[in-house]
Amino acid sequence: MKLLLSGVVAALSVFLAHTSVFALQYTFTPRVSIRESYTDNVNLAETNKEDDFIMDATAGGTFSALGRTGGMNLSFDPGYRWYAKGTELDTWRLPVTLDIWSQISRKTRLEFFNRFLRDDDPEGAEAVVSEEDGQVKAPGDTSVRRGRRPYYTNYATARINHEFGRDDSSFGQFLYSLRREEEQGGNENDHYALSGGFIYWFGPRWGTTVNSNYTIAKFENSPNYHDIAGIFQVMRRITGHFQLFGRYGYAYRDNDEDVSDYVVHAPSAGFSYELAKDSRASLGIGYFLQEFKDSDIDPEEGCFFNGDLFKRWDYQRWSASLRGLAGLDRNDFGNERLGFEWSAGIFGDASYKFTSTFSGNVTGSYRYSDIINDVREDSRISVGAGLGWVPTTWMALNLDYTFNRLISTSAKEYEENRILLRLTLQPERSWRF
């Protein structure tokens, strides 16, 4: 935690050093929310499901400081949760998000992001995704969680980006995350990662991308490890928006204690297409080989594809977004430590304004994961729909329904239906200072 606080202080110091305090515009948007929800499977159990009514009351807001070359957003919504049946589960919830950025020179940008969450909802740890470009700023927990034990997580990154050519850039990033349980057990961990890389075009047609990453992972209830990973990519530009690529991925895992180390080789090839900031697509197909060191464990190998898809539509009365991700990675820092994984997911939402005060929305997502070193495949499905009514400029009412389902070859499966009614009070305009 001292490391986290030091990072926040350092980020604020750089931000204030390059942005005049008196030139900043300060705003605060307060909000109060009361939410009543019903779930027919409060513990996400496979059998013997229990239902409950849950009430949440929150009071928070968003504080912003915006300047010509930098800015800061701090959002916090502390609240308390009451259970109608499981009264012994009553607890408090706290999500806090801090986002700081500073354009320290014309071509150099410094960013700091921090996401803290204390919760007891098994489905509460969702990813933080930028609405503007669909980039994941903090990953969610895609592993399976049962029960309502309180836990807290923190995910922080400090990143510097530098442009040294029209299409050439480099970056360096430090990441620190932690996960803690307020009762014994669970996958408590600390995750440190240092990464860097660059994009460089040799000419108008040929370029390369290099990314590298060094990770230290510490766990309370399982062996620690450190690993190095990297991607080397060669690109061939066909048009201004379309290019082909060949990619080689490498990872080396050094496990502590009596656990086999391994090496992963993952070549692939594909294409990418980027029309604008809110529209991109890339797809690659490859083959991976995982070899274990000093062990008689048979190697793992197989085909895979990696991808990144994002598209946003904004029109007068409706808007929609579509996002997709696929690739090889480790999944070690959620509620479960799952290890080497191939996953693919697609996420979409759409909203429509029937009138100036009445609207509707639909959401849907599907995620498939193959745990490569275990006989386990998971599929997560979530669909929902809702209605929104704004009777005044400072009041909003929302009624939403969500269906969640887990299909798994080894984990206990579940289905859940949720209904949520929420009242939010928030001024039409932010308060300025």
Q: Domain residues of the chain, as ranges?
A: 2-310+421-432
Of the two residues 165 and 258, the one the predictor is more confident about is: 165
Q: What is the pLDDT of residue 20?
A: 57
Cβ proximity of 80 and 60 under 8 Å: no
* pLDDT, mean of residues 406-430: 94
Looking at residue 22, its pLDDT comes to 56
C-alpha–C-alpha distance, residues 433 and 425, integer Å: 21
Residue 14: the pLDDT is: 56
* Residue 1: pLDDT band with limits 50, 70, 90: low
- pLDDT at position 409: 92
Q: What is the mean pLDDT of residues 56-73?
A: 94
Q: What is the pLDDT of residue 294?
A: 79
Q: Strand locations in 128-188, DSSP E?
A: 128-129, 136-138, 151-163, 169-181
Query: What pLDDT, on the 0 to 100 scale, is given for residue 135?
Result: 85
Task: Indicate the pTM of the whole model.
Answer: 0.91
Please check whether residue 268 is in contact with residue 245, taking contact to mean a CB–CB distance below 8 angstroms.
Answer: no
Q: How far apart are CA 53 and CA 56, in angstroms?
A: 10
Q: In this predicted structure, what is the pLDDT of residue 281? A: 94
Q: How many CA atoms lie within 13 A of 397 on its CB side?
A: 6
Is the pLDDT reported for residue 6 higher than 90?
no
Which helix or strand (DSSP H or E) is residue 255 part of?
Answer: strand 242-255
Task: Write out pLDDT tens, residues 33-55.
Answer: 999 999 999 999 998 999 999 99
Given a cut of 60, is residue 80 above it in pLDDT? yes
Q: Token match 């895979």: residue?
A: 304
pLDDT digits (tens, 9 = 90+) for 261-293: 999 999 999 999 988 778 899 999 999 999 998
CA distances from 138 to 11, 60, 100 (A): 18, 21, 14
> 3-class DSSP state for residue 20?
coil
**pLDDT interval class at 131 (50, 70, 90):** confident
**Is residue 124 pLDDT above 90, yes or no?**
no
pLDDT value at position 275? 80
pLDDT, tens only, 357-398 = 999 999 999 999 999 998 899 999 999 999 999 999 999 999
Cα 263 from Cα 374, distance rounded (Å): 17
Asked if the model's pLDDT at residue 18 lies above 70, the reply is: no
The predicted pLDDT at position 257 comes to: 80
User: Residue 193 forms beta bridges with which residues?
Assistant: 175, 215
pLDDT band per the 50, 70, 90 thresholds, residue 406: very high
Closest CA to 97 of 77, 120, 119: 77
Q: How far apart are CA 146 and CA 57, in angstroms?
A: 23
> Model confidence at 200, in pLDDT bands (50, 70, 90)?
very high
pLDDT range class, residue 186, cuts 50, 70, 90: confident
Is the predicted pLDDT of residue 258 greater than 90, yes or no?
no
Q: At 185, is the pLDDT very low, low, confident or very high (cuts 50, 70, 90)?
A: confident
pLDDT band of residue 166 (cuts 50, 70, 90) is confident
Q: For 2-310+421-432, CATH number?
A: 2.40.160
pLDDT-based confidence at 9, cuts 50/70/90? low
Q: Taking a C-beta distance cutoff of 8 angstroms, is the pair 420, 35 a contact?
A: yes
Q: What is the pLDDT of residue 17?
A: 57
User: What's the CA gap between 166 and 211, in Å, rounded?
Assistant: 19
Q: What is the mean pLDDT of residues 287-303?
A: 90
Task: Classify residue 377 by its DSSP letter.
Answer: E
Residue 243 binned pLDDT confidence (cut-offs 50, 70, 90): very high
Q: What percent of the chain has pLDDT over 90?
A: 76
- Give the mean pLDDT of the chain: 91
Rounded to an integer, the average pLDDT of 165-185 is 92
Name the percent of the chain in helix, strand, coil, to the closest 5.
5, 65, 30
pLDDT > 70? residue 3: no
The whole-number average pLDDT for the span 75-80 is 96
pLDDT interval class at 122 (50, 70, 90): confident
Q: What is the pLDDT of residue 277?
A: 75
The answer to whether 294 and 260 are in contact (CB under 8 A) is yes
Selected residue with higher pLDDT from 277 and 412: 412
